[in-house]
């Protein structure tokens, strides 16, 4: 039997029941260092849920995060809690939680967290952040600012189903709004791989952002952005903001070579503005994007391949999937197909955990700074040697 | 209820009993949702694509409108340029022409100074105007290159000729070397290449007060008939500070304003050169060290011409192989060039960097067949050296390399077999060597003579012609009449415009019509066409016009004119053109009446 350096145990809470989904042989609950908890906002904010998890794992750091769907093994669930406990053999971890209110802004929050974690042997950082009050782009800029060596940073923003209302994150306590957590992994024995992929098609003419403030968009090509969206949505404009998720923006900042995707979070009819999950600097070039069912699912599998490839030969012992709520709203009943397609790449016995988020964090490529993505499937794999 | 299309499939394929199965119903739900999602997605996409189609359409219409607008503006700019060029050149022609005439009259020293200043200032102004026109043409994309086969060496040598006098006056060595691999005939734009070289060498001349200017042409690459040529112009001038180098190629910028005052110029030359080089498929670079010198290098693409396979090394050295030549020059670059050249001709050179060194060599080695010496050398000049050599080796032939205006050949007829002007042209040097080594076989006069007085009444005696001037501008009429008067043509007639010119020609024959292009009533092009349509003997028609834009020349020739001179007209150019056609006319006369000979 294969020896596992990293040992995993997974629980799932559904329909009022806890069940054990996966256990690596030799796993010792008392030695679990990190417990990742992804769950429906209502369920994970109950004290009872937290107490139950603490009972399972008396010692490790419990990092909880509300979602728009929980990923476990090869399926997607709503109204559940997915728990993944990790027991490393050689890797040390350090968790750092902070509240957005303790800092001037999201950028400073990112800088603070990275500064707290920076130390010899820092191998990788996983960030789980509030998805309502935190500006993802700024947070990522702050993280990058204090990360001169481009240590890999991945993660995602918490979600609130398709309601875009309240998101919760917590470290060793019942999760709350406004919390941001960064987990540092230390030592040379941890190997991580990461990949992301969208699978959306760009269409329509290239346009320029002519008026925007941070993540609030007012004008494209000198015309009102909300009016433009309404024109494109036609009969579906009454379903805004949800229907705007059908047309995210592919955005290329001036001087950048890689486009990033920006998703609409909410609209404001009064000043005809639109709020996006990420900044839209003025002068950036944008193009509308449209989902393509098959490409979304293929994209997820490409992300998995990329994460597998840059793992450089070693087999992953845990795969963390963070996918965008926008994909779930498009794929609907077929959402599990994108998870299954990605899981297929890793094979039968690799435990998978993850969630549907309001923003994904991952570098474009190894050794580059991390970026905030929207509408992507972002995969991080972990293994120890 | 499932999606209506799915309902039909279910009715066809499944029984009532099968539909009781709960897990089957769950699957059917998923499938039905997918049907619905697909349909919804299709509707949304179709609408969105319609909107984007509409946007694309509007965009392409806007682009088309913008392009039309830009074309119109560009066109207007071209017309403006042509008009401006014409309007400036017309009075310039009168001004410079009259000043040149004035310079040919008896003047006091003070008057001569004023006149010369008018001419130099006028020439400078003309350069500025030409630079600005060139620059505008390049900027608006209106400059087209004229690719033709030409002799590269000849082109370089012509450029050298322009500067040789000035280099001699300033005491600079102007030397050039063309790698022997560079093909003789290439296809490129000779006038534009010449323009770039004139600019770079002109700059080098301006900013070098002692030392040398070395022009070098190398073959960089050959691929089939495509070649890349590398040019460099290296001087030992004042150099350019490092922080100013980047500004060099920017239009209207010079290294600094104090330099501008001291050295003059528009600051457009390098900007134009850069763009011309780019149009010729290359790049231009500069390396400079203040106080040491500057090297401008550029590369152009061209093609080897299939029209001719003539090689440069065309020197008949038969019988001279292995002959020994002592070469004396204080300039090391020049020595190297001469050595390379002589070795290519299978001669054996020995080099001496000074006259004393040469005498030392001669003291223990007196088997030389030929001596080639520079004139200006610090320790002992070429004449003194030659005298010392001749005192011992009276039969040893000596070739002197000197500068235009050097009188050594006249002053010491027996001292030198040949006197060549620097920079020395390859063909000249070859002939001079042949002549010196085998006296009596080839004798080519190689000493440059000062041109005769440009305007002389003898001209009309030599070439009797009936001349008609078509010109509407009173000053330019007067100028043309005066110039022709000085050439001995006292009965020249004037056509005030095209129509009058045609009328005059139909009532009496003229050998030559000097035709302005822009004239009231009827322009020169139309007048030419009318005259060409007439039967009987035809005149030579030479355009003399201020229309100096690209294509104007072709337009004149297409209308039926024989030649083209742009205003302001340089006296020498005008006289040369007239002489060329006069010879042609005489040749024709002799064909018709072999007994009539000019006096």
Concatenated DSSP letters of B176-205: EEE-TTS-SEEEE-HHHHHHHHHHHHHHHH
Selected residue with higher pLDDT from B144 and A7:
A7
In which band, very low, low, confident or very high, does the pLDDT at A225 lie, cut at 50, 70 and 90? very high
Beta bridge partners of A85: A9, A35
The partner residue sitting opposite B56, judged by closest CB among A205, A330, A334, is: A205
Cβ neighbours of A297 in B, within 8 Å: none
Instruction: Say if CB B459 and CB B574 are below 8 A apart.
Output: no
**What number of H helices and E strands is found in chain B?**
19, 17
Determine, for residues B41 and A233 on separate chains, whether the beta-carbon distance falls below 8 Å. Answer: no
CB B128 within 8 A of CB B252: no
A170/A175 Cα distance (integer angstroms):
4
B contacts of A247 (beta carbons < 8 Å): 48
If you write DSSP's letter for every residue of A124-145 in order, what string do you get?
Answer: EEEEEE-SSSS-HHHHHHHHHH
| Distance (Å) of CA A172 to CA A26, A58, A306, B441 | 25, 11, 33, 110
Q: Which residue has the tokens 């845990």?
A: A318
Q: Determine the residue among B48, B52, B56, B59 to mutate to test chain A binding: the one whose Cβ has the most chain A Cβ atoms within 10 Å.
A: B48
Q: Which residues of A touch B37 (CB under 8 A)?
A: 293, 330, 332-334
Is the Cβ pair B48, A291 closer than 8 Å? no
Is the confidence at residue A235, as pLDDT, over 80?
yes
Alpha-carbon distance B139 to nearest alpha carbon in chain A (angstroms): 27
Q: Which long-range contacts (CB under 8 A, 24 or more apart) does B381-387 make?
A: B381/B355, B382/B328, B382/B355, B382/B408, B383/B408, B383/B411, B383/B412, B383/B415, B384/B355, B385/B328, B385/B355, B385/B358, B385/B359, B386/B412, B386/B415, B386/B416, B387/B415
What are the respective helix, strand and coil percentages of chain B, to the nearest 5? 50, 15, 35
Q: Which among A232, A293, A330 is the nearest to B48, CB-wise?
A: A232
Nearest CB neighbour to B55, from listed A204, A243, A291: A204
Residue B334 CA to residue B91 CA, distance in Å, equals 45
Residue with tokens 């440069």: B312
Q: From B26, which residue of chain A is nearest by alpha-carbon distance?
A: A333
| Top-confidence residue, B95 or A97 | A97
Strands A318-324 and A377-384 turn out to be: antiparallel
Average pLDDT over residues A46-70: 96
- In the three-class reduction of DSSP (H, G, I as helix; E, B as strand; rest coil), residue B100 is classed as helix
Instruction: Establish, for the pair of chains A and B, how many residue pairs have beta carbons separated by less than 8 Å.
Output: 52
pLDDT at residue A260 tops 90: no
Q: At what angle do helices B269-279 and B109-139 cross, to 10 degrees?
A: 40
Alpha-carbon gap, residue A53 to A35, rounded angstroms: 9
Is the distance from CB of B176 to CB of B156 less than 8 angstroms?
yes
- pLDDT grade, residue A120 (50/70/90)? very high
Run of H or E including B149: strand B148-151
**In terms of CA atoms, which chain B residue is nearest residue A237?**
B44
Give the distance from residue A341's alpha carbon to the nearest chain B alpha carbon, in angstroms. 18
What is the reported pLDDT for A19?
95
Distance, in angstroms, between A75 CA and closest chain B CA?
A: 14
| Mean pLDDT value of segment A328-356 | 90
The whole-number pLDDT of residue B313 equals: 45
How far is the C-alpha of A49 from the C-alpha of A39, rounded, in Å? 10
- Which residue does chain B place closest to A333, by CA atoms? B30
- Residues of A with Cβ-Cβ distance to B55 under 8 angstroms: 204-205
Give residues 55 to 84 of A whose Cβ lies within 8 Å of B. Answer: none
pLDDT at B451: 36
Three-class DSSP category at B247? coil
**Which residues touch A163 (CB under 8 Å, ≥6 apart)?**
none
Cα first-last separation, chain A = 16
Which helix (H) or strand (E) is A35 found in, with range?
strand A34-39
- What per-residue confidence (pLDDT) applies to A216? 94
Taking the Cβ of residue A334 and every Cβ of chain B, the question of whether any pair is shorter than 8 Å is answered with yes
Give the SS3 label for residue B63.
helix
User: With an 8 Å Cβ cutoff, are A235 and B59 in contact?
Assistant: no
- Strands (E) across B7-55 are located at none
> CA distances (Å), A37 to each of A18, A54, A76, A172, A383, in order?
13, 11, 15, 11, 20
Q: How far apart are CA B175 and CA A288, in angstroms?
A: 64
- The whole-number pLDDT of residue A100 equals 95
Instruction: Give the number of residues written for chain A.
Output: 385
Instruction: Name the residue in chain B with its Cα closest to that of A287.
Output: B52
Q: How far is B41 from chain A (nearest CA, A)?
A: 9
- B43: chain A residues, CB-CB within 8 Å: 235
The shortest C-alpha distance from B244 to chain A (Å) reads 28
- pLDDT score, position B315: 61
**Rounded CA separation B131/B541 (Å):** 29
- Shortest distance between the Cα of B5 and any Cα of chain A, in A, equals 18
Chain B residues touching residue A205 (CB < 8 angstroms): 52, 55-56, 59
Chain B closest CA to A238's CA: distance in Å?
13
Q: Do B532 and B510 contact (CB within 8 A), yes or no?
A: no
Q: Which of residues 1-40 of B touch A (CB under 8 A)?
A: 29-30, 33-34, 37-38
C-alpha to C-alpha distance for A335 and B165, rounded to whole angstroms: 86
Q: Which residues in B lie closer than 8 A to residue A293 (C-beta atoms)?
A: 37-38, 41
What distance in Å separates residue A30's CA from the closest CA in chain B?
40
CA angle A54, A57, A63 (to 5 degrees): 65
**Interface probe, candidates A204, A239, A247, A297, chain B, greatest B C-beta count within 10 A:** A204
Residues near B112 by Cβ (< 8 Å), separated by ≥ 6? B103
SS3 of residue B223 by DSSP: strand
Contact B487, B457 (CB under 8 A): yes
Ordered per-residue pLDDT tens for chain B, 599 residues = 888 888 988 988 989 898 889 999 988 988 898 888 888 888 888 999 999 999 999 999 999 999 999 988 888 887 887 788 778 888 888 888 888 888 888 888 888 888 888 888 888 788 778 888 788 777 777 777 888 888 888 888 888 888 887 888 888 888 888 888 888 788 998 888 988 999 999 989 988 998 899 999 999 998 888 999 999 999 999 988 888 887 788 776 655 545 444 455 667 888 889 999 999 999 999 999 998 999 999 999 998 887 644 444 456 666 778 889 999 988 888 888 888 888 888 888 999 999 999 988 888 887 888 999 988 888 888 888 998 888 888 888 899 888 756 667 667 777 888 888 777 777 778 878 887 886 543 333 333 333 345 677 788 888 888 999 999 888 888 888 888 888 889 889 999 999 999 999 988 889 999 999 888 889 999 999 999 998 888 999 999 888 777 678 888 888 999 988 888 787 778 888 888 888 888 888 777 665 554 44
- Of A77, A2, A53, A8, nearest to A320 by C-alpha is A8
Q: To which H or E segment does residue A195 belong?
A: strand A190-197
Complex prediction ipTM: 0.72
Tell me if B490 sits within 8 A of B520, measured CB to CB: no
Between B34, B37, B45, which is nearest A290 by CB?
B45
Contacts of B47 in chain A (CB under 8 A): 232-236
Q: Across residues A151-155, what is the average pLDDT?
A: 95
Give how far the C-alpha of residue B450 lies from the chain's centroid of Cα atoms, to the nearest Å.
24
Contact flag B55-A288 (C-beta cutoff 8 Å): no
- CA atoms of B568 and B89, how far apart (whole Å): 6
Asked if B370 contacts B388 with a C-beta cutoff of 8 angstroms, the reply is: no
> Quick check: B444 contacting A, CB < 8 Å?
no
Q: Which residues contact B454 (CB under 8 A, 6 or more apart)?
A: B104, B571, B572, B575
Give the mutation candidate from A75, A228, A290 for the B interface (greatest B CB count, under 10 A): A290
Task: Indicate yes or no: CB of A204 within 8 angstroms of CB of B51.
Answer: yes
> To probe the interface with A, which of B3, B52, B56, B58 has the most A CB atoms within 10 Å?
B52
DSSP letters of B259-293?
A: HHHHH---S-HHHHHHHHHHHTT--EEEEEETTTE
Which residues numbered 191-220 in A keep a CB inside 8 Å of some CB on B?
203-205
Listed in sequence order, the residues at least 6 apart from B281 whose beta carbon sits closer than 8 Å to its beta carbon are B300, B301
What does DSSP say about strands B563-566 and B540-545: parallel, antiparallel, or unpaired?
A: parallel
Cα A3 from Cα A5, distance rounded (Å): 7
Taking an 8 Å cut-off on Cβ atoms, the answer to whether A233 and B44 are in contact is: yes
Element (H, E) at B114: helix B109-139
Give the pair of three-digit tokens for residue A281: 């600097």
| Residue-averaged pLDDT of chain A | 91
How many of the other CB atoms lie within 10 Å of CB of B278?
14
Give A235's contacts in chain B (Cβ within 8 Å): 43, 47
- CA–CA separation, B295 vs B285, rounded Å? 8
A96 pLDDT more than 90: yes
Restricting to B residues 40-69, those with a Cβ less than 8 Å away from any Cβ of A are 41, 43-45, 47-49, 51-52, 55-56, 59
Question: Nearest residue on chain A to B34, judged by CA atoms?
Answer: A333
CA separation (Å) from B27 to A333, A334, A342? Answer: 10, 11, 22
Length of chain B, in residues: 599
* pLDDT one-digit tens code per residue, A274-330: 988 888 999 999 999 988 778 888 888 888 888 877 665 678 899 999 999 989 988
CA distance A240 to A234: 11
- From A202's Cα to the closest Cα of chain B, the distance in A is 11
Among B396, B422, B418, CA closest to B408:
B418
Searching chain A, which residue's CA lies closest to the CA of residue B45?
A: A290
């Amino acid at each position: 039997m294969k020896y596992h350096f990293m040992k995993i145990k997974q629980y799932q809470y559904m329909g009022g029941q806890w069940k054990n989904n996966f256990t690596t042989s030799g796993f010792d609950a008392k030695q679990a260092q990190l417990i990742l908890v992804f769950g429906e906002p209502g369920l994970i904010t109950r004290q009872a849920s937290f107490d139950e998890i603490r009972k399972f794992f008396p010692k490790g750091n419990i990092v909880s995060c509300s979602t728009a769907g929980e990923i476990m093994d090869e399926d997607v669930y709503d109204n559940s809690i997915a728990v993944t406990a990790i027991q490393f053999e050689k890797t040390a971890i350090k968790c750092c939680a902070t509240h957005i209110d303790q800092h001037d802004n999201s950028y400073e929050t990112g800088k603070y967290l990275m500064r707290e974690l920076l130390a010899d042997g820092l191998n990788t950082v996983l960030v789980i952040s509030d998805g309502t009050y935190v500006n993802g782009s700024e947070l990522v800029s702050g993280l990058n600012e204090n990360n001169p060596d481009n240590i890999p940073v991945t993660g995602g923003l918490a979600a609130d189903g398709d309601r875009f209302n309240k998101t919760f994150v917590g470290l060793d306590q019942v999760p709350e709004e406004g919390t941001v957590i960064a987990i540092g992994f230390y030592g040379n024995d941890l190997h991580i791989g990461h990949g992301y992929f969208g699978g959306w098609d760009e269409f329509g003419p290239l346009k320029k952002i002519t008026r925007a403030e941070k993540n609030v968009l007012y004008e494209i090509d000198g015309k009102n952005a909300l009016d433009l969206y309404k024109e494109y949505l036609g009969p579906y404009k009454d379903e805004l903001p949800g229907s705007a998720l059908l047309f995210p923006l592919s955005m290329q900042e001036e001087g950048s070579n890689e486009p990033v995707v920006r998703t609409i979070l909410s609209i404001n009819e009064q000043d005809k503005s639109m709020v996006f999950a990420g900044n839209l600097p003025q002068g950036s070039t944008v193009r509308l994007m449209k989902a393509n069912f098959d490409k979304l699912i293929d994209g997820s599998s490409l992300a998995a391949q990329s994460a597998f490839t840059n793992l450089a030969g070693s087999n992953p012992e845990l795969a963390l999937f963070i996918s965008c709520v926008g994909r779930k709203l498009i794929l609907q009943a077929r959402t599990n197909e994108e998870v299954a397609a990605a899981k297929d790449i890793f094979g039968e016995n690799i435990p998978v955990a993850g969630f549907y988020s309001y923003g994904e964090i991952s570098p474009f490529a190894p050794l580059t700074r991390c970026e905030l993505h929207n509408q992507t499937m972002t995969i991080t794999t972990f293994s120890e040697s | 209820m499932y999606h209506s299309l799915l309902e039909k499939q279910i009715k066809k394929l499944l029984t009532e009993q099968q539909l009781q199965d709960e897990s089957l119903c769950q699957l059917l739900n998923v499938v039905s949702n997918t049907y619905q999602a697909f349909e919804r997605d299709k509707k949304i996409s179709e609408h969105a694509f319609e909107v984007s189609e509409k946007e694309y359409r509007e965009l392409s219409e806007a682009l088309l409108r913008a392009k039309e607008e830009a074309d119109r503006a560009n066109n207007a700019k071209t017309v403006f340029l042509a008009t401006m060029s014409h309007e400036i050149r017309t009075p310039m022609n009168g001004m410079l022409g009259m000043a040149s005439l004035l310079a040919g009259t008896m003047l006091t020293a003070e008057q001569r100074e004023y006149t010369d200043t008018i001419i130099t200032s006028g020439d400078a102004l003309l350069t500025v105007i030409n630079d600005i026109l060139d620059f505008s043409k390049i900027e608006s994309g209106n400059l087209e290159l004229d690719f033709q086969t030409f002799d590269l060496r000849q082109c370089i040598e012509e450029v050298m000729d322009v500067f040789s006098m000035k280099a001699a006056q300033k005491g600079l060595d102007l030397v050039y070397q063309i790698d022997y691999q560079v093909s003789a005939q290439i296809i490129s734009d000779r006038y534009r290449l010449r323009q770039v070289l004139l600019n770079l060498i002109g700059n080098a001349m301006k900013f070098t007060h002692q030392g040398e200017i070395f022009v070098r042409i190398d073959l960089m690459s050959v691929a089939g008939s495509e070649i890349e040529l590398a040019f460099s112009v290296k001087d030992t001038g004042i150099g350019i500070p490092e922080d100013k180098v980047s500004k060099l190629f920017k239009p209207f910028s010079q290294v600094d304003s104090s330099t501008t005052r001291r050295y003059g110029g528009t600051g457009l030359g390098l900007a134009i050169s850069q763009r011309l080089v780019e149009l010729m498929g290359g790049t231009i670079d500069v390396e400079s060290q203040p106080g040491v010198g500057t090297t401008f290098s550029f590369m152009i693409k061209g093609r080897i011409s299939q029209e001719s396979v003539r090689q440069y090394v065309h020197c008949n050295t038969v019988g001279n192989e292995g002959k020994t030549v002592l070469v004396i020059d204080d300039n090391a670059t020049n020595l190297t060039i001469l050595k390379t050249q002589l070795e290519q001709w299978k001669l054996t050179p020995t080099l001496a960097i000074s006259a004393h060194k040469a005498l030392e060599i001669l003291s223990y080695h007196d088997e030389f067949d030929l001596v080639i010496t520079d004139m200006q050398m610090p320790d002992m000049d070429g004449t003194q050296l030659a005298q010392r050599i001749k005192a011992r080796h009276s039969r040893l032939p000596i070739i002197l390399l000197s500068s235009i205006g050097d009188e050594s050949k006249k002053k010491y007829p027996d001292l030198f077999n040949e006197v060549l002007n620097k920079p020395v042209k390859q063909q000249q040097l070859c002939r001079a060597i042949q002549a010196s080594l085998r006296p009596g076989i080839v004798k080519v006069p190689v000493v440059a003579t000062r041109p005769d007085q440009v305007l002389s009444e003898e001209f009309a005696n030599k070439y009797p012609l009936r001349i008609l001037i078509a010109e509407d501008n009173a000053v330019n009429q007067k100028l043309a009449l005066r110039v022709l008067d000085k050439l001995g043509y006292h009965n020249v007639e004037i056509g005030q415009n095209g129509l009058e010119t045609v009328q005059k020609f139909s009532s009496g024959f003229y050998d030559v019509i000097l035709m302005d292009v822009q004239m009231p009533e009827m322009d020169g092009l139309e007048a030419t066409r009318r005259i060409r349509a007439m039967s009987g003997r035809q005149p030579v028609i030479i355009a003399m016009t201020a229309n100096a834009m690209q294509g104007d020349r072709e337009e004149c020739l297409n209308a039926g004119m024989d030649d083209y001179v742009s205003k302001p007209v340089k006296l020498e150019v005008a006289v040369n053109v007239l002489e060329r056609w006069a010879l042609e006319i005489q040749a024709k006369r002799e064909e018709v009446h072999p007994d009539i000979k000019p006096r």
